[in-house]
Amino acid sequence: MPRRIRGDPTRLKQILMNLLSNALKFTEQGHVVLEVSCRKTESGDPRLVFCISDSGIGMRQEVLAQLFESFSQGDSSTTRRYGGSGLGLAISKELVEMMQGHIEVQSTPGRGSRFCFEIPLHAALDVEDPLALLLAGRPALLASQDAPGLEAVSHLLRRWGMRTERCQTPERLPDYLSDYTAPPLLVLLAPWPGTPTDWLERLRPHLEPGQRVLMLYPPIHEQPPIPPGLRLVSLPLPLQSSSLRAALQMLYQDMPEQPSGTPSEALPATLQEPCILVAEDNPVNQMVVRGLLKKRGYTVQLADNGRQAVDIYRRDPAAVQLILMDCEMPEVDGFEASRQIRNLELERQLPAVPIVAVTAHVLAEHRQQGLASGMNEFIGKPLESQQLYACLDSYLQGGAS
């Protein structure tokens, strides 16, 4: 499938949001999977195919016949328990047909549903992806007990030319590793028995020196430390393509590795020009945020933890336009760093710099803790470019100076 296509993103987004919301509503446990592929019709015309499948309550055949009609709500018992699908499915069908496509559904009561729609595929002019040149032909071994998750990550890696193999049985993973003549990229995707640190400790005797390991872990766990001799990059779930791209670049580009505790950039005596200070301990997240900010013309100064962020700000507060502050960092976390910065401003009678918390936690108590420590705003992880840019525009009046 081409990496770039021409089409109507607004309509497509509305269709996908309607179908995915519907699947999530009727799936209390199990999975919801979105698959995208392309096929050719009998006449040779390319079509883009989207399928949303779930392991939810499913539907009877008599319900399916009326499903795409306006105000169709399924049967009354389902509507009372879950709420109906309302106009969402009828609107989705209309939008698909406006794009010269068609939609269909298959469902079994108690086993789930599968909605598929296809639209004409119009490929845009593509350019060679440098990451594909870097990864072409390299092996990757993916390990998880989450079969749909393995398929999704495997699909992304294959798009960049990697050869993938999957293991879903924890005790067999050492045998899989021993079959390789050269160490593969090892992708450890939750769920897996124990914590991420436990996985690495158990696997350590079976890993080669310098082996590349990509750890994809749920945010309820802490980021695992990097064991000596491994090239480990950890990413919190849910996974974004941009974060995965940055992680693979870090793992495969020949870059000198930094000793533990060394800042990602030397701390300057003073900052040379106005900048956005990014306090973030995860190097992959640093790359992603830096790239997003540089696209808008901002100068970026990185800090690996809250202590460094306070030190940088203390040395040249006038040059810091705004601070993006991760909440959970080693040595000094984002909350304490924000408190220290606000105290410094009071002592020196400085204007308050905007501090924007970047956090995976959205509970009210976390927001209250952030406000109490002096933070101004909160944006969620994984970071979305439009949300970030809107936040920056509200404080910095539309862009870099």
Same domain, 90 and 140: no
Same domain, 231 and 147: yes
**Banded pLDDT at 364 (limits 50, 70, 90):** confident
Residue 233 φ/ψ, nearest 5 degrees: -125, 130
Could you say which of 65, 90, 123 is where a domain stops? Answer: 123
The residue behind tokens 């030319």 is 161
The answer to whether residue 166 sits within a structural domain is yes
* pLDDT of 262 strictly over 50: no
Same domain, 148 and 187: yes
The answer to whether residue 268 sits within a structural domain is no
The answer to whether residue 257 sits within a structural domain is no
Looking at residue 157, what is its pLDDT? 94
**Region 43-59 average pLDDT:** 90
Same domain, 109 and 56: yes
Q: What per-residue string of b and e applies to 35-48 under the rule 16 or more CB within 10 Å gives b? A: eeeeeeeeeeeebb
* Segment (H or E) for 78: helix 76-82
Same domain, 47 and 79: yes
Same domain, 390 and 283: yes
Q: What is the CATH number of the domain that holds 283?
A: 3.40.50.2300
Residue 355's domain comprises: 275-396
Mean pLDDT computed over every residue of the chain: 83
**Banded pLDDT at 1 (limits 50, 70, 90):** low
Give the tens place of pLDDT for each residue, 272-286. 467 899 999 888 888
Same domain, 288 and 361: yes
Packing angle of the helix pair 88-98, 9-25 (nearest 10 deg): 150
Which H, E and C letters describe 282-344, residue by residue? CHHHHHHHHHHHHHCCCCEEEECCHHHHHHHHHHCHHHEEEEEEECCCCCCCHHHHHHHHHHH
Give the tens place of pLDDT for each residue, 105-157. 999 999 999 999 999 988 765 566 788 888 999 999 999 998 889 999 999 99
**Region 319-348 average pLDDT:** 92
Query: Which amino acid belongs to residue 273?
Result: E
* Residue pair 268/320 in contact by the 8 Å Cβ criterion: no
Query: Which amino acid belongs to residue 256?
Result: P
Same domain, 174 and 222: yes
Give the tens place of pLDDT for each residue, 289-311. 998 998 888 999 999 999 999 99
Looking at residue 125, what is its pLDDT? 59
Q: Which two tokens stand for residue 267?
A: 């701390």
Same domain, 137 and 119: no
Looking at residue 123, what is its pLDDT? 72
Beta strands in 58-111 (DSSP E): 102-108
Could you say which of 106, 123, 140 is where a domain stops? Answer: 123
Q: For the chain, what is the domain count? A: 3
Same domain, 74 and 157: no
User: Which of these ranges, 218-222, 353-357, 386-390, has the smallest mean pLDDT?
Assistant: 218-222
The answer to whether residue 339 sits within a structural domain is yes
The answer to whether residue 258 sits within a structural domain is no
The answer to whether residue 30 sits within a structural domain is yes
Could you say which of 88, 123, 158 is where a domain stops? Answer: 123
Identify which has the larger pLDDT, 321 or 263.
Answer: 321
User: Which of these ranges, 47-61, 124-138, 317-331, 379-393, has the smallest mean pLDDT?
Assistant: 124-138
**Max mean pLDDT range (25-29, 334-338, 379-383):** 334-338
Q: What is the pTM of this model?
A: 0.58
CA distance 389 to 294: 11
**Region 172-192 average pLDDT:** 92
Same domain, 75 and 156: no
Same domain, 350 and 286: yes
The answer to whether residue 261 sits within a structural domain is no
The answer to whether residue 270 sits within a structural domain is no
* pLDDT of 400 strictly over 60: no
